[in-house]
Amino acid sequence: MPEQVLDDISHRRYNPLTGSWLLVSPHRTKRPWQGQQEAPSKNVLPEYDPKCYLCPGNKRAQGDSNPQYAKTFTFVNDYSAVKEQQQEYTPEVNKDDVASLLLQAQPVTGRCYVLTFSPKHDITLADMAAAEIVPVIQTWTRIYASHLSATHPLRNQADKALASIPTNPDGEVDPPKAQLRYMQIFENKGAAMGCSNPHPHCQVWTTSALPEEPGKEFAQMAQYRGEHGRHLLADYAGLEMEKQDRVVWQNEGFLVVCPWWAVWPFEVLILAKRHVRALVDLTDGERLQLAEAVQEVTRRYDNLFETSFPYSSGIHQAPLDCTEEEAETSWLHMHFYPPLLRSATVRKFLVGYELMAEPQRDITPEQAAARLRNCGGELYRKLLN
Amino acid sequence: MPEQVLDDISHRRYNPLTGSWLLVSPHRTKRPWQGQQEAPSKNVLPEYDPKCYLCPGNKRAQGDSNPQYAKTFTFVNDYSAVKEQQQEYTPEVNKDDVASLLLQAQPVTGRCYVLTFSPKHDITLADMAAAEIVPVIQTWTRIYASHLSATHPLRNQADKALASIPTNPDGEVDPPKAQLRYMQIFENKGAAMGCSNPHPHCQVWTTSALPEEPGKEFAQMAQYRGEHGRHLLADYAGLEMEKQDRVVWQNEGFLVVCPWWAVWPFEVLILAKRHVRALVDLTDGERLQLAEAVQEVTRRYDNLFETSFPYSSGIHQAPLDCTEEEAETSWLHMHFYPPLLRSATVRKFLVGYELMAEPQRDITPEQAAARLRNCGGELYRKLLN
Ligand SMILES: [Zn+2]
Ligand SMILES: [Zn+2]
């Protein structure tokens, strides 16, 4: 096949989800793989840390105390990037005024949550069984459902999800005071990703504006649907299942791939196989299947360099307030962007050329997928005595 | 003025150069400034390091020896991301084939250079006088000129520049074997930017493709010119000179601002005040003025936290091969993206929400500009005994 040559030559690949290109330089990785160069890292954290602001029963910065929660726990971030109430701001816009063109601003309101995955301070998603990750996905789903507008195309799905998923008093949140536009669920794991607290948790930022990245993806997905009458990510999932080169793992409901356009060395995309528009579309069985996919990705990451692998992950799905058309265009998926390149300490920097010109990578996504396919099996930490 | 409220509320700002938005959360920086918390860093490097692959006379990885150069020194990178010759690749494209749509690749050729700023291992641009930075700008200009196509709209300017700038045998490069499209000059400074060698240097990557970032900027600048009949960056420079809030420094030829849309805490943009399309348009006097601007930015950066301030910088200008229209649309400018936030060790991470949703900052560009305005004066290191 003609693509074989891409293992050897510099080329650009197109990301159809964002409409942008990246530079791939595979000839720079021709040296043989060095293998493990550092001792496997052990878990040296306590199960409970009296100084952790996320552990059950502890006090947080602003004086609130955490409940003795058993599974997940959700609270409004004490240092939210957006707030529900703030001074009004209505920009003066005069079409021919240079300031109106070049100094544009718009106010943003919203609410930011912190969500712990477990009361245990010393574990990560990689340490948790899929069944233990299900409550996390249930909490995400209930929070998402409780933020949907009354007239949302997924309102019925949301009500069904709320009725069928058991409530968790420590994971519930109040509906927002005013309808918001988008909910971004994301996790920063590890000091390399600026996360100073190892207690397993993610953040959920809800905003009155649709942010850039999901906005670009919607535009690209809508354009593809308009031109081809099919879903971009349906076509892409089908293509990857046929080619297999970039598939890391799959079950009935989800496909795990190193995408064709991956920027980060071991970037992964979890894709719903059927048309799931948002978390509230998932059945009980699919929530377990998504938990399995998350478990496989995070465990393989840790096994890869026998370290607690840093990453940022995030879920893209239908906006909180949207038209029928926008809901139809949405396709649930989860991105993982990890910075490690060759070992627990050799990282990839997105700097210089990548900031000024375009993203660049050396190892190909096909090589990355092959490595991740080969490091399933038990979490390495459990095999250390 | 109504913009005052933007010091207090969460809002998004628009970047007209790239057509994208970022989130600003100024209420998160309401705590008073803590001031210097770490001892000022001293220069502990030797002027010559026998192990440095950039110092004069030393051997490089592939066996070549560096000359005993006196000012700048340019060589082809031993580990180039792109090469001039490689296997051919012609993608098979069938318009209705899903693989042709979703697995797009294009070959890229080019040449990558490393360019040292000085034979001295232990200095940085901040330590150099403007007059010492002029040879760096001269070398950039000669390399750019030697890569322009024969029919380039700036060919005359390039020939004039080559005739008037003294040659530097250690800085010269051969013309490329085949015409290339774009030249990206960039510097990664400091370990925080993944740069392991402190010897002052930058990189110059020339490629057969126009990369993403300058491509987006061209599209935005061309659209603005089409709609308003004026240059986006001319209008923007005029506006900032009038408002002053974001101006850090200026001389006759160049304006230094923290742009309205800055993503990095102390991001800076150096803008030509008149219509300079590329380095070859600069007069002798303007090369010195640009050197002064670079000197002011880098010295103020170091003074800010009394440390050798890390950053990535890069120059955007006319492509190496372009139409009259593209050359006219171009406007020389230089970006500085530094990661430090509150001290020599507190950095900003672009992770999580920024990767999944959109860039976010706490301190406003106006606050950043005020801090940088106030730290001119002698380089702090020169005042340490
Ligand atoms: Zn996405
Ligand atoms: Zn630019």
Sign of CA dihedral A7, A9, A10, A14: negative
Report the separation in Å between the CA atom of B53 and the middle of ligand 2, taken as the mean of its atom positions: 30
Mean pLDDT value of segment B259-267? 97
Q: What is the pLDDT of residue B385?
A: 64
Task: Tell me the β-bridge partners of B74.
Answer: B115
Q: In the structure, what pLDDT confidence band is assigned to residue B2 with cuts at 50, 70 and 90?
A: low
Report the separation in Å between the CA atom of A213 and the middle of ligand 1, taken as the mean of its atom positions: 7
Name the residue with higher pLDDT: A90 or B109. Answer: B109
Q: What is the pLDDT of residue B367?
A: 95
Percent above pLDDT 90 for chain B:
82
Contact predicate A265/A341, CB 8 Å: yes
Mean pLDDT value of segment B9-35? 82
**Looking at chain A, which residue has its C-alpha nearest residue B221?**
A102
pLDDT over threshold 60, residue B348: yes
Report the separation in Å between the CA atom of B370 and the middle of ligand 2, taken as the mean of its atom positions: 23
Nearest to A92 among B2, B8, B213 (CB): B2
pLDDT over threshold 90, residue A283: yes
Q: What is the pLDDT of residue A32?
A: 47
Percent above pLDDT 70 for chain B:
97
pLDDT over threshold 80, residue A29: no
pLDDT over threshold 90, residue B265: yes
Q: In the structure, what pLDDT confidence band is assigned to residue B323 with cuts at 50, 70 and 90?
A: very high
**Looking at chain A, which residue has its C-alpha nearest residue B193?**
A351
Task: Report the predicted TM-score, pTM, of the whole model to 2 decimal places.
Answer: 0.96
pLDDT over threshold 90, residue B290: yes
Which residues hold their Cβ within 5 A of ligand 1, which is an ion? A 217, 316
Instruction: Classify residue B167 by its DSSP letter.
Output: P
Give dist(CA B333, CA B322) in Å, integer.
18
Contact predicate A24/A6, CB 8 Å: yes
Mean pLDDT value of segment B216-239? 97
Structure tokens at B262: 């800055």
Q: In the structure, what pLDDT confidence band is assigned to residue A371 with cuts at 50, 70 and 90?
A: very high
Mean pLDDT value of segment B272-284? 98
pLDDT over threshold 70, residue A158: yes
pLDDT over threshold 50, residue B103: yes
**Looking at chain A, which residue has its C-alpha nearest residue B239?**
A99
Give dist(CA B275, CA B330) in Å, integer.
8
Q: Which of A182, A217, A230 is nearest to A330 (CA)?
A: A217
Q: What residues in B contact A11, CB-CB < 8 Å?
A: 89, 105-108
Q: What is the dihedral of CA A257, A258, A259, A264, to 10 degrees?
A: 150
Contact predicate A104/B15, CB 8 Å: no
User: Is A203 known as a binding-site position?
Assistant: yes
* Average pLDDT over chain A, rounded to an integer: 93
Nearest to B102 among A110, A213, A236 (CB): A236
Q: What is the pLDDT of residue B1?
A: 47
Nearest to B335 among A351, A356, A358 (CB): A356
pLDDT over threshold 80, residue A160: yes
pLDDT over threshold 70, residue A313: yes
Residue keyed to tokens 């070859």: B280
Determine the distance in angstroms separating the CA of A231 from the nearest CA of chain B, rounded to an integer: 11
Mean pLDDT value of segment B364-385? 93
Report the separation in Å between the CA atom of B217 and the middle of ligand 2, taken as the mean of its atom positions: 6
B355 and A314 within 8 Å at the Cβ level: the answer is yes
Within 10 A of B86 (CB to CB), how many other CB atoms are there?
16
Residue keyed to tokens 């010109």: A357
Q: Which of A58-62, A164-168, A241-245, A376-380 has the lowest mean pLDDT?
A: A58-62
Looking at this protein, which amino acid is placed at residue B117?
Answer: F
B231 classed as catalytic: no
Mean pLDDT value of segment A317-336? 97
Q: Which of A148, A79, A117, A87 is nearest to A320 (CA)?
A: A148
Report the separation in Å between the CA atom of B372 and the middle of ligand 2, taken as the mean of its atom positions: 21
Q: What residues in B contact A106, CB-CB < 8 Å?
A: 11-12
Structure tokens at B358: 């959109």
Q: Which entry of B27, B201, B228, B231 is annotated as an active-site residue?
A: B201
Mean pLDDT value of segment B154-176? 93
Q: Which residues of A64-94 are buried (b: 16+ CB within 10 A; e: fewer)?
A: eebeebebbbbbbbeebbbbeebeebeeeee
Nearest to B352 among A90, A188, A239 (CB): A188
Our measurement of the distance from residue A316's CA atom to the centroid of its chain's CA atoms, rounded to an integer in Å, reads: 7
Summarised one tens digit per residue, pLDDT across range A181-207 is 999 999 999 988 888 899 999 999 999
B15-B19-B24 Cα angle (round to 5): 40
pLDDT over threshold 80, residue A129: yes
Q: What is the pLDDT of residue A27?
A: 85
Q: Which of A295, A333, A101 is nearest to A213 (CA)?
A: A333
pLDDT over threshold 50, residue A1: no
Looking at chain A, which runs of residues are DSSP E strands?
Answer: 11-15, 20-24, 73-76, 105-107, 110-116, 182-189, 201-207, 247-250, 254-257, 268-272, 311-316, 333-337, 360-361
Partner A, chain B 94-113, Cβ-Cβ below 8 Å: 98-99, 101-110
Partner A, chain B 175-214, Cβ-Cβ below 8 Å: 182, 184, 186-188, 193-194, 203, 205, 207, 209, 211-214
Looking at this protein, which amino acid is placed at residue A376?
Answer: G
Name the residue with higher pLDDT: B102 or A1. Answer: B102
Q: What residues in A contact B188, CB-CB < 8 Å?
A: 349, 351-352
- Sort strands A105-107 and A254-257 into parallel, antiparallel or unpaired: unpaired
Q: Does B2 touch chain A (CB under 8 A)?
A: yes
